A and B are shown apart, each in its own frame.
Chain A
């Protein structure tokens, strides 16, 4: 199938869904409106709301806050995950000692930490960053840990036979291997950074997309809730496209199709 054809079909899906939504929320079927506007709003109102946000410019501030929180959560969480993952993989004793605690914290639904973070760090951006960090950290940590432990035996032996010292093995073998595993989880970890930020905002904040949605919900402004969701989706897709670009640059050495490890 050609690209144009595919794109046309993809757009068609959106058009059909939106048309159905508009139709079912305004035209009665068998004397009954299937999507009552109070609960489902309608595409025109939602679109109006989005336009209003962008025209008045209020949305930029919220987008900016969410973006900053996501980036901070991603950077801090990744850094921590890489360092600790690396350390654990190279020190099996440390890994063994902390293993049950790592599993315990990872099993905890992170949302329950949000109130504690809000208590400790206030309603500003840092409580959201903290929530995002707890999500990102574990993804990166497990990937790096696995990546360092599963470095090919032959490649390691080759490094040794070529005369690499422990430090050089670290730099030329363990480190690139760990980073490649981190990058392969890039989509997931960036996604979770955004989730952490938005959920944190939703549970208590003064700005951000999550705050916007929560505010609209508080006054039963369903159009506002949907508008917030659409802006959030677009935001995530844009970030994801950015990640894809970065990934292509960083992982050029990787085979694209179901690679060999």
Chain B
């Protein structure tokens, strides 16, 4: 049985030119594949370049070396097969929740009269059916994330890229959103690349957890398979023995990197 590869980063290196002419290497030779239907989480200490890697997969950033293949075709320009869920608020503030979701279809040329009922359906499936007429500023942080999720999913992308999407939310809302995401994902199992700094969240959600070393020049230093049963409930799965064992095992590796990351960021601050 061979599942096609949705995303393949092939020794991708990401570097930025700094203002003073020096070159800053964010990510060194990252090799990572996500199979179709697979949920992969990338975990790493702050500033390790995990969001950078996601932007490379999205086509928002070009790797300095190495390549990106999407469904076995080299990626040129933006990744048209991917939906991207941002960490910051990315909704259009001048559009209502309904219009924000409908726009995903309207861009593709779907007539508005067809797009609106579908958008309403998606809002309902993320639990916001009654909030269609609200503007983003009238919604809570969690509700805005739900709208953003509907906005991305209505286009039915083959790949989902998520950059700490639940980062700004409080702990409880995060878990509720995690369960919502798993429910929606379970329906058609898209390939997911999910970036987070929260190891528990990563294990609870993903099929595979990938650990990155502290930046700069960070690398992928570990890759664990999560064999917890699906469908999962995020609240329940955290009580599982296997969950704890895996958490302990990954944390023993991640801990050193987190300490290194902190040491570097404090060191850098002192140097400035």
Interface residues of A (CB under 8 A from B): 152, 154-155, 157-164, 168, 172-173, 176-177, 180, 252-255, 259-260
Contacts and interface: CB of A to CB of B under 8 A. Distances in A.
B92 A176 contact: yes
B137 A162 contact: no
12 contacts: A152-B88, A155-B91, A157-B86, A158-B84, A160-B78, A161-B82, A162-B107, A172-B95, A176-B94, A254-B137, A255-B137, A259-B137
B135 A162 contact: no
Interface in B191-248: none
A252 B58 CA distance: 33
Interface in B138-163: 151-152, 155
B90 A168 contact: no
A259 B80 CA distance: 33
A154 B84 CA distance: 11
Interface in B21-50: none
B92 A173 contact: yes
A164 B107 contact: yes
B108 interface: yes
Contacts of B80: 163
A154 B88 contact: yes
Given A162-B107, A164-B107, A253 B94 contact: yes
Interface residues of B, number: 27
A153 B135 CA distance: 20
Contacts of A163: 80, 107-108, 155
Q: Describe B's contact surface by its main secondary structure.
A: loop
Contact of A155 (B58, B90, B137): B90
Contacts of B107: 162-164, 168
B137 A260 contact: yes
A255 B95 CA distance: 13
A154 B91 CA distance: 9
A157 B85 CA distance: 10
Contacts of B60: 157, 160-161
A154 B104 CA distance: 16
A155 B93 CA distance: 9
B90 A154 contact: yes
B137 A253 contact: yes
A173 B137 CA distance: 17
B242 to A, nearest CB: 35
Interface string B79-107: 01011101011111111100000011001
Contacts of A176: 92, 94
A259 B136 CA distance: 12
Contacts of B90: 152, 154-155, 157-158
Contacts of B83: 161-162
Contacts of A158: 84, 86, 90-92
B89 A154 contact: yes
Contacts of A162: 83, 103-104, 107, 151-152, 155
